[in-house]
Amino acid sequence: MPSALQKNLKMSNSVDCEITIRPAIPEDIPGILEMVLELAEFEKLADQVVATKEDYEESLFGAVPVAEALVAEEKNGFVGYAIFFSTFSTFIGRAGIWLEDLYVRPEFRKRGIGKKMLQEVGSIARERNAGRYEWCVLDWNQNAIDLYEYVGGEILDEWRIVRLNRDTLDVLPEK
């Protein structure tokens, strides 16, 4: 019996195609990186992509993996990916899952693939008894916002992301 992550999914469209969502393997990294660059272009952040194949090998499949990935594919190649990792909530006292990226290539959007990938990561969260399943969305990405609200996601307007990048970490005051 296939695992929850290795199901073949029949997506409806004018041209039916069979989509498989499965855990990523090391050989998938070049394809994932290609899609990461596509996402960065879409988000107008391509200048911020510095990740290498080696970074992904270490982060996803190294001695201490810090993230996991799913890929969605059809017979001609990858159509999307999801990258996620564990978080912790002090209020709930449990680990959660943070969805870092969910990307579906433009020509495959509006076919239910993004929704199915959200569900697959959600299944992992349920299996792990996660206290939360969270992610961010850009305020101008209305298609994504619509999908997230459709599946029951709550947009938390009162929270703001705070970030220290590598350069600011290096000069973070010690006092």
Q: For residue 33, is it within any domain? A: yes
Residue 107 belongs to a domain with what CATH number?
A: 3.40.630.30
Q: For residue 1, is it within any domain? A: no
Q: For residue 27, is it within any domain? A: yes
Give the model's confidence band at 14: pLDDT under 50 very low, under 70 low, under 90 confident, else very high: very low
C-alpha 62/C-alpha 13 separation (Å) is 38
C-alpha 74/C-alpha 107 separation (Å) is 13
Mean pLDDT of 87-111: 96
DSSP state of 47: G
Q: For residue 79, is it within any domain? A: yes
Residue-range definition of the domain harbouring residue 108? 8-170
Q: Give SS3 for 85.
A: strand
What is the pLDDT, as a whole number, of residue 81? 98
Please report the DSSP string for 89-135 in residue order. Answer: ETTTTEEEEEEEEEEE-GGGTTSSHHHHHHHHHHHHHHHTT-S-EEE
Question: Is the model's pLDDT at 91 over the cut of 90?
Answer: yes
Closest CA relative to residue 53, chosen from 72, 34, 33: 33
What is the pLDDT, as a whole number, of residue 173? 79
Contact 49/68 with Cβ under 8 angstroms? Answer: no
Question: Is the model's pLDDT at 141 over the cut of 50?
Answer: yes
Q: For residue 2, is it within any domain? A: no
Percent of the chain with pLDDT over 90: 77
State the total domains in the chain: 1
Structure tokens at 43: 């988000």
Q: Which of 56, 133, 148, 150 is catalytic?
A: 148
Mean pLDDT of 29-51: 96
Structure tokens at 76: 């001609």
C-alpha 127/C-alpha 145 separation (Å) is 26
148 is catalytic: yes
Of 20-24, 57-61, 117-121, 162-166, the range with the lowest mean pLDDT is 162-166
Give the model's confidence band at 175: pLDDT under 50 very low, under 70 low, under 90 confident, else very high: low
Q: For residue 71, is it within any domain? A: yes
Q: What is the dihedral of CA 109, 114, 115, 120, to 10 degrees?
A: 150
Contact 151/115 with Cβ under 8 angstroms? Answer: yes
The residues that bridge with 17 in the sheet, in sequence order, are: 11
Q: For residue 115, is it within any domain? A: yes
Give the model's confidence band at 11: pLDDT under 50 very low, under 70 low, under 90 confident, else very high: very low
Mean pLDDT of 111-122: 95
